[in-house]
């Protein structure tokens, strides 16, 4: 072990000391695990609604409650973060189209695809749309 630790993970060294947590002033030990990338993308979506083109990584970090470095650890740049947000939105949109395309009857399949577009937009009004 590296000196005294609090049992909380750190992205770089593995553990935060109590002093590091005190200096940080935030939720020290916040590590991106599990569903955290989706939480970051949700925060980026919400920050974009509020700040539009002026959205910065600091706005996203504040919404998540994480240090800015944790965001940059997962997404190397602002463009990568917002590109991932757009890609996630397109992926979610396409999932519904794929389900509709698997319908055997061609007319029913096309009708299901046509209905999917406004249904998707109505269910996710704040998500970037393709």
What is the per-residue pLDDT for 36? 80
Assess whether 56 and 26 both reside in one domain.
no
Assess whether 56 and 69 both reside in one domain.
yes
Q: What is the pLDDT of residues 50-99, one digit of tens each?
A: 898 899 999 999 999 989 999 999 999 999 999 999 999 999 999 999 99
pLDDT interval class at 2 (50, 70, 90)? very low
As a whole number of angstroms, the distance between CA 26 and CA 104 comes to 54
Assess whether 18 and 1 both reside in one domain.
yes
Parent domain of 107: 32-123
Assess whether 115 and 78 both reside in one domain.
yes
Least trusted range by pLDDT, from 28-37, 38-47, 97-106, 107-116: 28-37
Examine residue 76 and state whether it is found in any structural domain, yes or no.
Answer: yes
What CATH number has the domain bearing residue 103? Answer: 1.10.357.10
What is the per-residue pLDDT for 13? 46
Examine residue 26 and state whether it is found in any structural domain, yes or no.
Answer: yes
pLDDT at residue 14 is higher than 70: no
Assess whether 39 and 102 both reside in one domain.
yes
The more confidently predicted of residues 121 and 80 is 80
Stretch 101-116: mean pLDDT: 95
Q: What is the pLDDT of residues 23-42, one digit of tens each?
A: 444 444 444 455 688 899 99
**Residue listed under structure tokens 């509709």:** 100
Assess whether 36 and 76 both reside in one domain.
yes
Q: In sequence order, what DSSP letters do the residues of the chain get, joined into one string?
A: --SS--S---TTTS---HHHHHHH-S-TT----TTHHHHHHHHHHHHHHHHGGG--HHHHHHHHTS-HHHHHHHSSSHHHHHHHHHHHHHHHHHHHHHHHHT-SSHHHHHHHHHHHHHHHHHH-TTS---
As a whole number of angstroms, the distance between CA 43 and CA 37 comes to 10
């Amino acid at each position: 072990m590296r000196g005294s630790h609090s049992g909380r993970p750190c992205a770089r060294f593995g553990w935060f000391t109590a002093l590091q947590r005190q200096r940080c002033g935030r939720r020290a030990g916040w590590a991106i695990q599990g569903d955290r990338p989706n939480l970051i993308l949700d925060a980026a979506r919400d920050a974009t609604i509020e700040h539009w083109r002026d959205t910065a990584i600091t706005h996203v970090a504040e919404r998540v409650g994480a240090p800015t470095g944790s965001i940059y650890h997962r997404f190397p740049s602002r463009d990568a973060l917002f590109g991932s947000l757009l890609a996630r939105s397109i992926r979610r949109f396409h999932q519904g189209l794929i389900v509709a395309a698997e319908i055997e009857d061609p007319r029913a399949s096309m009708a299901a695809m046509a209905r999917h577009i406004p249904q998707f937009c109505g269910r996710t009004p704040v998500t970037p749309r393709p």
